[in-house]
């Protein structure tokens, strides 16, 4: 009978088609690629490269806006960053297999790299002026902004920001329909403004032609509501003078304020949060990744605790060392208290881990 471990099942790294390369070379290359994708230092270094490229993009856009040419240092730095992106993409494909190319995010990376090489090729062929004048080619430069998203996928230090991006991508459909709903509600109040408030505008704002035009049509009334209610701008220019002259118009202006701001906006927030919560429960891949990250962090913390408990530095912990460490280490005490483990339970736990009865367990 095959011996099985108590660890969770993890997928094996896919092997790529060597197409002529020896099996040994392919194995070494795959191992190096896997080590690269799992190395935190390389992930942080790549994040730094992405941020440097983003800075170069900002400098390039500012320089071209003034009509000047981008400096050679900025251009060469951007080209080196493009080479780094290419190497990173190849290593990721080697480590995770060719199936990763079907992933939408990897398709986005491939599109970004293609646009980058087209832009660089045209730049060195002397078509820089053409790229600056034609809108389609100018978009190739702006595609580089999408490279910043790779920082979120390669580093684990931006977990909160990753959740924000994931929430935005998950709730795009909900946000779209929320905007439609908000626009419909504003249109209802805009109809009332055109029917009831517009006839009074000429009398109140005799010297302000723009004020009279602001309620002359449903679309203009929508713009007025968005400006005053949603954006909170120019509330005292039209709404307050009208309510002072005709107090009953406060029903429309205050009603639209209460309905849109305290009603529709809060409803949209509640629906978006609920949608993200449902999507998060269904997203088993991200949940498994978060659980694995939490398990890794807990393992590292426990290793540090056991190193502090291992007073003789032998790499093995006896029960006396474990008990003494539980009495003097605050972090270890807190963990045991959370798990409701007292000294008697700690002895039973030690005996369960020490399956060979050697009287000591490995600290790592």
CATH number of residue 297's parent domain: 1.10.238.10
pLDDT over 90 (residue 293): no
Q: Is 162 inside a domain boundary?
A: no
Q: Which of 282, 311, 345 finishes a domain?
A: 282
Q: What is the pLDDT of residue 145?
A: 66
Of 80-94, 152-166, 332-346, 349-363, the poorest mean pLDDT is in: 152-166
Considering the domain architecture, whether residues 106 and 27 belong to the same structural domain is answered as yes
Considering the domain architecture, whether residues 250 and 351 belong to the same structural domain is answered as no
**Domain with 303 in it:** 285-362
285 neighbors 279 (Cβ within 8 angstroms) = no
pLDDT over 50 (residue 5): no
Considering the domain architecture, whether residues 200 and 276 belong to the same structural domain is answered as yes
Considering the domain architecture, whether residues 220 and 125 belong to the same structural domain is answered as no
Task: Please state the rounded mean pLDDT for residues 1-29.
Answer: 49
Cα within 13 Å of Cα(150), Cβ side: 32
Considering the domain architecture, whether residues 124 and 105 belong to the same structural domain is answered as yes
147 neighbors 85 (Cβ within 8 angstroms) = yes
Quote the number of domains for the chain. 3
Q: What is the pLDDT of residue 321?
A: 84
Using a 10 angstrom Cβ sphere, with 0-12 exposed, 13-18 middle and 19 or more buried, the burial of residue 253 is: buried
Q: Is 231 inside a domain boundary?
A: yes
Q: Which two tokens stand for residue 217?
A: 């049509």
pLDDT over 90 (residue 190): yes
- Would you call 70 helix, strand, or coil by DSSP? coil
Give the separation between CA 163 and CA 56, rounded to whole angstroms.
27
Q: Which of 259, 282, 305 finishes a domain?
A: 282
Give the separation between CA 346 and CA 18, rounded to whole angstroms.
52
Q: What is the pLDDT of residue 129?
A: 62
Q: Is 179 inside a domain boundary?
A: yes
CB neighbours of 90 closer than 8 A, spacing ≥ 6?
none
Q: What is the pLDDT of residue 222?
A: 92
> In whole numbers, what is the pLDDT of the chain averaged over residues?
78
Q: Is 165 inside a domain boundary?
A: no
Radius of gyration of the chain (CA): 31
CB atoms within 10 A of CB 30: 20
Considering the domain architecture, whether residues 34 and 139 belong to the same structural domain is answered as yes
Q: Is 296 inside a domain boundary?
A: yes
Q: Is 164 inside a domain boundary?
A: no
pLDDT over 80 (residue 150): no
Give the separation between CA 222 and CA 187, rounded to whole angstroms.
6
Considering the domain architecture, whether residues 254 and 308 belong to the same structural domain is answered as no
Considering the domain architecture, whether residues 234 and 322 belong to the same structural domain is answered as no
Q: What is the pLDDT of residue 195?
A: 92
Q: What is the pLDDT of residue 127?
A: 66
Give the separation between CA 171 and CA 279, rounded to whole angstroms.
9
Q: Is 2 inside a domain boundary?
A: no
Indicate the pLDDT class of residue 162, thresholds 50, 70 and 90.
Answer: low
pLDDT over 80 (residue 45): yes
Q: Is 46 inside a domain boundary?
A: yes
Q: Which of 99, 131, 156 finishes a domain?
A: 156
Spatial CA neighbour of 193 closest among 226, 156, 147: 226
pLDDT over 50 (residue 328): yes
Considering the domain architecture, whether residues 30 and 128 belong to the same structural domain is answered as yes
Percent of the chain scoring above 70 in pLDDT: 79
């Amino acid at each position: 009978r095959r011996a099985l471990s108590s660890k969770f099942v993890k997928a094996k790294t896919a092997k790529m088609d060597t197409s002529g390369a020896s099996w040994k070379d392919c194995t070494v290359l795959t191992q190096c690629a896997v080590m690269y994708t799992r190395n935190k230092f390389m992930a942080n270094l790549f994040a730094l490269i992405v941020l440097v490229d983003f800075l170069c993009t900002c400098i390039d856009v500012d320089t071209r806006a003034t009509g000047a040419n981008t400096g050679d240092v900025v251009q060469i730095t951007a080209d080196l960053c493009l080479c780094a992106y290419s190497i990173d993409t190849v290593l990721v494909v080697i480590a995770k297999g060719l199936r990763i190319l079907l992933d939408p995010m990897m398709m986005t990376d491939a599109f970004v790299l293609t646009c980058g090489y087209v832009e660089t090729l045209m730049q060195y062929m002397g078509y820089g002026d053409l790229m600056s004048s034609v809108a389609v080619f100018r978009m190739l430069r702006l595609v580089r902004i999408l490279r910043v998203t790779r920082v979120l996928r390669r580093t684990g230090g931006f977990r909160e920001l990753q959740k924000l991006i994931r929430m935005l991508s998950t709730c795009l459909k909900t946000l779209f329909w929320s905007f439609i709903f908000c626009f419909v509600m504003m249109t209802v109040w805009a109809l009332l403004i055109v029917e009831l408030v517009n006839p009074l505008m000429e009398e109140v704002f005799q010297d302000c032609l723009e004020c009279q035009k602001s309620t002359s049509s449903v679309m203009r009334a929508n713009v007025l509501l968005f400006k005053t209610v949603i954006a909170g701008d120019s509330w005292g220019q039209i709404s307050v003078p009208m309510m002072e002259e005709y107090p009953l118009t406060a029903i429309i202006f205050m009603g639209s304020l209460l309905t849109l701001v305290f009603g529709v906006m809060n409803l949209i927030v509640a629906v978006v949060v609920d949608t993200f919560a449902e999507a998060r429960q269904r997203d088993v891949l991200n949940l498994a990744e978060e659980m694995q990250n939490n398990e890794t962090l807990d393992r590292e913390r426990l290793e540090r605790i056991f190193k502090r408990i291992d007073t003789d530095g032998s790499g093995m912990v006896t029960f006396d060392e474990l008990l003494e460490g539980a009495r003097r280490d605050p972090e270890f005490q807190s963990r045991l208290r959370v798990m409701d483990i007292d000294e008697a339970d700690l002895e039973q736990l030690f005996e369960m881990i020490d399956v060979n009865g050697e009287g000591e367990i490995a600290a790592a």
